[in-house]
Amino acid sequence: MLCTAISAALLSALPIWAVAEPLVDCFFIFGDSIVDNGNNNNLVTLAKSDFPPYGIDTPNHRPTGRFTNNRTIADITGELLGFKDYSPPYADSHNANLLPGINYASAAAGIRDETGQHLGGRISFNHQLRNHQDIISRIVNFLGSNESATTHLNKCLYFVGLGNNDYINNYLLPLSYPSSRTYTPDQFAQVLIQQYSEQIKTLYSYGAKKVVLYSLLPIGCAPNEIAKYGTNGALCVENINAQVMLFNSRLRSLVDELNSNFKDANFVYVNLFDLALSAISNPGLFGFKVTNCACCGVGPNNGIACIPLEVPCQNRAEYLFWDAFHPTEASNLIIAQRSYHDQSLNVTYPMDISTLARLQRAS
């Protein structure tokens, strides 16, 4: 399939409703390129986005290290929670006010340490957790005691979204990684969830009480995978999505297990997989016209990133994918809004993010 950029139609900015004071005291973000906001800028890696046309729709039209044209899901979720500023990247935390939260996310990072290594530097989830320990010790110093730091950390919301790269930049690359020869898809999903579960328990032991866990995306629908494997008449590469679903169903069960084992904490599952698939199946309902081609990085191979300085598609609000792997801001808005207010629980389980944020509020 050949993707070509279609033009016309204006970019419509959806208004974001923000509350006067944040619903939670702080917002910490762990993840991959879906929410990286600059942590890879100073790393030696191919997983970078600090060049145009990334960031083309930001107020100053500059790249920031986000893998999209403007805001990420974490940025928009932070706005919905009532934050006026985005949680800064850990890489820029030296002079930052740490109390409202930090973003540790890193493109190409995974649950497994080796994930993404063929691309160069990246900050794995284990490393992100060590960076969080560093921030915690700085918060302890600032607030003067463990107790006050713990009280503060208990009142934060934690965004956790890893695992996409353990497929894209590990299991699905047999020439670079042995995992697909070592494990069947079912075993790999199990091994990943086992490790993820330990990592999430570590985060809990660092004081996290409100944790949002994002499912993997339907990776088989990414323009890069479609260009690589073809879809055989389907909308997406079905066998890749089937592998991803093995992980997602276990992650949902893990949320049940965590909620029953840790009664003083709440864990929420966000089903990005089905939300994205419904947008791909019914693009018009979501305001999209193009769901199988990227807005930038367009070419015979649907390269993994935008080509530096290339001119992207103009009608960005009509595209689900910004580059061959990452959603446009238009998609990020839908995801963030539908997971924040979700009374019918179509996307979130067992409660939506606004309900989680309001729980046990200190008066």
Ligand X SMILES: *[C@@H]1O[C@H](CO)[C@@H](O)[C@H](O)[C@H]1NC(C)=O
**Interface with ligand X includes 60 (CB under 6 A)?**
no
Q: Is residue 73 a contact partner of residue 212, using CB atoms and an 8 Å limit?
A: no
Give kind and range of the element (H or E) at residue 266. Answer: strand 266-270
Region of 54-62, 117-125, 175-183, 240-248 interacting with ligand X (CB under 6 A)? 54-62
Tell me if residue 278 falls in helix, strand or coil. helix
Q: Distance between CA 329 and CA 48 in Å, rounded?
A: 18
**Interface with ligand X includes 250 (CB under 6 A)?**
no
Catalytic hit among 33, 87, 106, 215: 33
Minimum CB distance to ligand X, residue 155 (Å): 18
Burial zone of 60 (CB within 10 Å; 0-12 exposed, 13-18 middle, 19+ buried): exposed
Report the interhelical angle of 185-205 vs 238-261 (nearest 10°).
30
CA distances in angstroms from 285 to 128, 292, 343, listed in the order given: 37, 16, 19
Contact code string over 326-355 relative to ligand X, x by CB under 6 A = ------------------x-x---------
Quick one: 71 or 250, whose CB is closer to ligand X? 71
Burial zone of 262 (CB within 10 Å; 0-12 exposed, 13-18 middle, 19+ buried): middle
Minimum CB distance to ligand X, residue 58 (Å): 6
Active-site residue, 256 included:
no
The tokens for 329 are 């801001």
Region of 57-65, 172-180, 248-256, 265-273 interacting with ligand X (CB under 6 A)? 57-65
DSSP 142: H
Active-site residue, 326 included:
yes
Tell me the H-state helices in 212-271. Answer: 223-229, 238-261
Report the interhelical angle of 185-205 vs 125-143 (nearest 10°).
10
Contact code string over 107-146 relative to ligand X, x by CB under 6 A = ---------------------------------------x
Minimum CB distance to ligand X, residue 195 (Å): 22
Number of residues that bind ligand X (CB under 6 A): 10
Quick one: 70 or 169, whose CB is closer to ligand X? 70
Active-site residue, 33 included:
yes
Q: Residue 148, Cα to own-chain centre: how many angstroms? A: 30
Minimum CB distance to ligand X, residue 218 (Å): 17
Active site residue ranges? 33, 323, 326
| Interface positions with ligand X (CB under 6 A) | 11, 13, 57-59, 70-71, 146, 344, 346
